[in-house]
């Protein structure tokens, strides 16, 4: 299965950016942990990982992977709270979306409590630091994989 992993604006600065909120791990550390997790699996999972600080570029990346991706793991960062364009792009691709946040957005400022993305996501993982990405990837594999509850019921 092919999974597109998208990191939104300012996540390239992880490690230096408000470590008391976002932790000390860099984006490279997070990406390496995702690759390592995938390598430990006995099923074939292909990750393509991208980061952009630009809303339009994120929209283009999503559209570009329309045929390729079986699922999209996305931390839209600040665009979570503002971007109808990213929501529309995700809806257009029509594959499962898992929304990721390092911090617990519901325990922070009120403007972070609303997400334009959650309404089109299969689920949201928020508040577990870098581990949110691993949990989100596990959830995505569960959704796409052969051992989903749906398949067990058949
Ligand atoms: C974030 C939460 C957003 O509110 C914020 O704008 C980010 C990161 C997170 O991962 O906790 O840039 O998405």
Residues 24-66: tens digit of each pLDDT: 999 999 999 999 999 999 899 999 999 999 999 999 999 999 9
The pLDDT assigned to 127 comes to 97
66-91 pLDDT per residue, tens: 999 999 999 999 999 999 999 999 99
Spatial distance between the Cα atoms of 114 and 82, rounded to a whole number of angstroms: 9
Task: Give the phi and the psi of residue 17 in degrees, each rounded to 5.
Answer: -85, 115
From the CB of residue 40, how many other CB atoms can be counted at a distance below 10 Å?
7
- 150 pLDDT tier (thresholds 50, 70, 90): very low
Atom of ligand 1 nearest to the CA of 8: 12
Q: How many angstroms is it from 105 CA to the middle of ligand 1?
A: 7
Active site residues: 22, 101
Spatial distance between the Cα atoms of 95 and 98, rounded to a whole number of angstroms: 10
The pLDDT assigned to 149 comes to 43
110-141 pLDDT per residue, tens: 999 999 999 999 999 999 999 999 999 999 99
CA distances from 149 to 9, 61, 79 (A): 35, 31, 32
Question: Taking 50 as the threshold, does the pLDDT of residue 108 lie above it?
Answer: yes
Q: From 102, 117, 124, give the residue whose CB has the most ligand 1 atoms within 8 Å, as the site to mutate.
A: 102
Residue nearest to atom 13 of ligand 1 (CA): 77
Spatial distance between the Cα atoms of 96 and 120, rounded to a whole number of angstroms: 9
**Region 10-19 average pLDDT:** 94
- 145 pLDDT tier (thresholds 50, 70, 90): confident
Spatial distance between the Cα atoms of 57 and 135, rounded to a whole number of angstroms: 26
| 108 contact partners, CB below 8 Å, separation of at least 6 | 21
């Amino acid at each position: 299965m092919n999974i597109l992993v998208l990191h939104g604006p300012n996540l390239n600065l992880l490690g230096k950016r408000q470590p008391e909120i976002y932790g000390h791990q860099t984006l490279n550390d997070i990406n390496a942990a995702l690759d390592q997790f995938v390598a430990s699996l006995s099923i074939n999972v292909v990750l393509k990982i991208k980061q952009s600080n630009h809303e339009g570029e994120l929209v283009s990346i999503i559209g570009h992977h329309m045929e390729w991706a079986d699922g999209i793991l996305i931390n839209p960062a600040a665009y979570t709270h503002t971007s109808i364009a990213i929501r529309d792009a995700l809806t257009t691709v029509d594959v499962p979306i898992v929304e990721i946040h390092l911090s617990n957005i519901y325990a922070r400022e009120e403007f972070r409590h609303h997400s334009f993305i959650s309404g089109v996501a299969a689920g949201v993982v928020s508040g577990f630091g870098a581990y949110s990405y691993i949990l989100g990837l596990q959830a995505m594999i569960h959704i796409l994989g052969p051992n989903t509850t749906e398949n067990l019921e058949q």
